[in-house]
Structure 1
Amino acid sequence: MKKIVAALIALTLIFGLSACNGKQANNSEVKETSTSEEKIKVIVSFNPIKEFVLEIGGNKVDVETIIPEGSEPHDFEPKVRDIAALTEADIFIYNGLGMESWVDKVLNSIDKKTLTIVEASKGCEAIKISDPEEIKEHGEYDPHIWLSLKEAQKESKNIKDALIMVDFKNKDYYEKNYENFIKELNSLYDEYKKKFDTVSNRCFVTGHAAFGYLCRDFNLNQNSVEDVFAEGEPSGKKMKELVDFCKANNVKTVFLEEMASPKVSETLANEIGAKVEKIYTIASKEDNKNYIQSMRENLEKIYNSLK
């Protein structure tokens, strides 16, 4: 009988019928691990968060991603197995700013007493969305904050602090990895800040409006075929505005992301005599590139398109 009761309790946790208060990453409590060899189990929402965790956590962490590679993060709904995995994790890290609309519902359905929860974008300087319809459906902020080298540092710090809180004995290891990663981010920023400062043209065109934070880093201006949440093809009026924008700003490249509509981007490129070139949102891992490699390629392509 006791075994049956225990099994029923486990099923209740998996299917999300209990709700308790969880630890937040700013708690002072430290969770101990049973052995020095045991890795911290970290569940993340999607790829860019995984990239940051691996940079800082190194060989001390075991990372799983909820949103599958190639899936649209804005539309994803977690499965029962995803909820079950959270009940076994030490840390759950998500981006926030409305990127994962399912997070609150899922976290309210599990026992969080032993789970450290991290909203990676906490403390970041978010960009407000101006379109009332987008705000109504998704929230008031642009969630693509990881595409800023400056804001990526803040997300990384939140992740580092959580790893230290859960695994304090490896504090020096996490601190060293974090500092090395920050140096890489700053070096990449400084390199391309100098490059972008040499060009007078600051405008480029993308498949969807994911690069607002990158633009803010380097004082650039994006115009996009699709909105911030990669939804819907543009109207005839919007297409005309895009064509006029491209011609006025001598746009020779239309950048296309994995999740954006290639048909419309190719139509626009043909209309203005431009080429279509791939760019990374890093929402999924593409071409086996890590975060620094992907961002460097993005910046170099954008820079070359503006010269």
Structure 2
Amino acid sequence: MYKRIISILMLMCSLVTFSACGNASVNSNNKVADKKESHGKIQVVVSFNAMREFAEAVGKDKVEVKTVIPNGVEPHEYEPKAKDLEDLNKAKVFVYNGLGMESWVDKSLKVINNKQLVVVEASKGFESIKNTDEGEIKEHGQNDPHAWVSLKGAEFEAKNIKEALVKADPSNKDYYEKNYKDFSTQLNSLYNDYKKKFDTVTNKNFVTGHAAFAYLCRDFGLKQNSVEDVFAEGEPTTKKMEELINYCKQNKIKTIFVEDMVSPKVSDTLAKEVGAKVQKIYTIESKEDNKDYIQSMKSNLELIYNSLK
């Protein structure tokens, strides 16, 4: 808690400093930088990799996208730097997931000087899955934020991003509409392929490193059990570990899935206890193995499907 308070105080100091410098710069030049000046492309800032995937799928070569949270960094606890705020001050569109994923958004938007910025909460309007753990609710809010780890969630979020791009750049509306339609077609094709596959298996249970796959489970009628909670915090207690071992044995779990940025140690131990193998699965919070969103989700679905056969 002490470290978190210090982190917040440091951020507030950097925000105040940046705001003062930014306002001085604007006042001295008597103008705001052109938000569409880089080779004619719309300047888009996104919170993390999955939002970048969707923004680029819809915007393609009409947008230039900058990502706030670097690959390999856990998004739940990130605090923006002065450079991130500078990028927001120059952008035409800002995309973030929402549902409690990016705790820094509101305070960051309050201090930048960019009245033209089109802000889109990509998950806004999507039917969320509620957290049940009291500690998670107190720390992070009511909602599971991982809507993008779902083909239906991705389609919904891409639509919101498309509408934001149209608002920011109405002259290219048809272009964004076409790209969104193409992306939506890919998502639905993948969904239909795996809906048929998952309907053929009787076992619907799989185990992951942290509980990031509830929306994917909702898409296909599956059930996840996880080593760590929704926000990848804390190793399981001895009691929880015993429950996981029993769960794996009762449900004939053959694979323990582990994600990037989640410690594999407990998953490895669990796999040894129940005679399962460990395989990598993607949350798409970071770009991994040079795969795009469709490739990452296809890999996830194929691995999960094979583990249930």
The TM-score, its normalising length taken from structure 2, stands at 0.89
The separation in 2 between residues aligned to 1:34 and 1:127, in whole angstroms, is 37
The separation in 1 between residues aligned to 2:45 and 2:37, in whole angstroms, is 20
Contact conserved, 1:256 with 1:278, CA < 8 A, in 2? yes
The separation in 1 between residues aligned to 2:131 and 2:183, in whole angstroms, is 30
- Secondary structure at 2:184 match in 1: helix
Contact conserved, 2:50 with 2:285, CA < 8 A, in 1? yes
Distance 1:134 1:12, change over 3 A: closer
Match of 2:235 in 1: 233
The separation in 2 between residues aligned to 1:34 and 1:228, in whole angstroms, is 38
The separation in 2 between residues aligned to 1:74 and 1:239, in whole angstroms, is 24
Distance 1:295 1:34, change over 3 A: closer
In the TM superposition, what are the counterparts of 1:118-133 in structure 2 within 5 Å? Answer: 118-133=120-135
**What is the aligned counterpart of 1:301 among 290, 300, 303?**
303
The share of aligned pairs that are identical, in percent, is: 63
Match of 1:250 in 2: 252
Gaps spanning 5+ residues in structure 2: where?
A: 1-13, 23-33
In the TM superposition, what are the counterparts of 1:182-201 in structure 2 within 5 Å? Answer: 182-201=184-203
The separation in 2 between residues aligned to 1:223 and 1:260, in whole angstroms, is 15
The separation in 1 between residues aligned to 2:261 and 2:303, in whole angstroms, is 18
- Secondary structure at 1:222 match in 2: strand
Match of 1:141 in 2: 143
Distance 1:14 1:191, change over 3 A: farther
Match of 2:262 in 1: 260
Q: Give deviations 1:186-226, integer Å, cap 9, x for gaps.
A: 00000000000000000000000000000000000000000
Match of 2:19 in 1: 16
> How many residues get paired?
286
The separation in 2 between residues aligned to 1:14 and 1:50, in whole angstroms, is 28
Contact conserved, 1:206 with 1:224, CA < 8 A, in 2? yes
Gaps spanning 5+ residues in structure 1: where?
A: 1-10, 20-31
Match of 1:100 in 2: 102
Q: Give deviations 1:134-187, integer Å, cap 9, x for gaps.
A: 000001100000011111111001100011111111111111000000000000
| AA of the residue aligned to 1:172 | D
1:14 CA displacement = 6.6
1:112 CA displacement = 3.3
- Secondary structure at 1:64 match in 2: strand
| AA of the residue aligned to 1:242 | L
What is the alpha-carbon root mean square deviation over aligned residues? 2.0
The separation in 1 between residues aligned to 2:123 and 2:110, in whole angstroms, is 20
The TM-score, its normalising length taken from structure 1, stands at 0.90
Distance 1:238 1:34, change over 3 A: closer
Match of 1:39 in 2: 41
| Higher-RCO chain (CA-CA 8 Å, sequence separation at least 6) | 1
Distance 1:250 1:107, change over 3 A: same
The separation in 1 between residues aligned to 2:159 and 2:235, in whole angstroms, is 37
The separation in 2 between residues aligned to 1:14 and 1:166, in whole angstroms, is 29
* 2:71 paired with 1:50: no
In the TM superposition, what are the counterparts of 1:68-217 in structure 2 within 5 Å? Answer: 68-217=70-219
Q: Which has the higher helix share?
A: 2
